[in-house]
């Protein structure tokens, strides 16, 4: 990796950590950069998951105020995220690389669509919540739905992390009448859980597929990006971030299809 490529990966980590904290889908920034500096898709995914953990941690800390009152719910959902992360990591490591290369463009396209339509989903959820109580009883059925959502999004995140957070906010928002910032805080912790579990599995059984230089540069950038964005990123215009994510996602699809 050349000096300029290292700078590009560091900058990608900074941007991805910041975007993950407030919007989600930072992988659509970092993953194309890793591909562009020569990493194959599977090692790029593994190194990306390792590198973005630091940003997940700093953004979770930055959203600690929004986490108040959600401890019991988190304790109920973290096991589902752990199981999902392990399932996704297993699929990534055991399915043929050709399968991953074929599926990833589709997953990125899905992620791009989700990012693009997220404002419509948010407005719909906001209208639905008008007049609802801030606190709601989480009965067995609702809890089962949340657990299943955490497992499915965790599996997706363990296999390919792009827009894991968008999926989580969309699904949890249908089941919880909570403000979006509190859903975002919940998403940050569960994403941290999934990425940590999946990355741990990668390190144990696929150390040879980790590009430690790329992972370290992403970690340094995402740590700063996640912390800064969790404090100040809400002031940035979301349409700007959203447009950039969609464009980068389309670039990633182009890079993969041209390989």
Q: Which two tokens stand for residue 169?
A: 């906010």
Per-residue pLDDT tens for 21-35?
877 778 888 988 999
Q: pTM higher than 0.75 for the full model?
A: yes
Q: What is the pLDDT along the chain (259 residues), one digit of tens a residue?
A: 888 999 999 999 999 998 888 777 788 889 889 999 999 888 898 899 899 999 999 988 888 888 888 888 889 999 999 999 999 999 888 888 778 778 778 877 877 777 677 677 667 666 655 554 444 567 778 889 899 989 988 998 888 877 777 778 777 877 777 777 788 888 889 999 999 999 899 888 888 888 999 999 999 999 999 988 887 765 666 677 667 667 766 776 776 677 6
- CA angle at residue 115 from 62 to 6, to 5 degrees? 65
Whether 66 and 181 have beta carbons less than 8 Å apart is answered as yes
pLDDT for the residue numbered 26: 82
**What total number of domains does the chain contain?**
1
Whether 16 and 225 have beta carbons less than 8 Å apart is answered as yes
Structural domain for 191, as ranges: 3-257
């Amino acid at each position: 990796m050349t000096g300029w490529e290292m700078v590009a990966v560091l900058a990608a980590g900074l941007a991805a950590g910041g975007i993950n904290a407030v919007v989600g889908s930072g992988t659509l920034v970092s993953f194309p950069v890793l591909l562009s500096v020569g990493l194959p898709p599977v090692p790029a995914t593994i190194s990306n998951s390792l590198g973005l953990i630091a940003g997940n941690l700093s953004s979770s800390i930055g959203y600690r105020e929004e986490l108040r009152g959600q401890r019991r719910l988190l304790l109920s959902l973290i096991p589902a995220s752990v199981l999902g992360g392990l399932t996704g990591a297993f699929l990534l490591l055991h399915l043929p690389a050709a399968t991953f290369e074929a599926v990833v463009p589709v997953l990125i396209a899905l992620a791009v669509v989700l990012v693009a339509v997220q404002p419509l989903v948010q407005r719909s959820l906001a209208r639905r919540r008008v007049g609802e109580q801030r606190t709601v009883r989480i009965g067995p059925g609702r809890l089962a739905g949340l657990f299943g959502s955490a497992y499915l999004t965790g599996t997706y995140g363990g296999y390919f992390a792009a827009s894991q957070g968008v999926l989580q906010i969309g699904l949890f928002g249908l089941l919880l009448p909570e403000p979006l910032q509190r859903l975002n805080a919940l998403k940050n912790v569960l994403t941290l859980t999934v990425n940590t579990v999946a990355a741990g599995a990668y390190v144990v059984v696929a150390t040879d597929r980790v590009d430690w230089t790329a992972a370290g540069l992403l970690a340094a950038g995402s740590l700063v990006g996640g912390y800064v964005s969790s404090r100040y990123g809400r002031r940035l215009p979301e349409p700007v971030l959203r447009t950039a994510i969609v464009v980068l996602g389309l670039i990633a699809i182009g890079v993969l299809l041209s390989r």
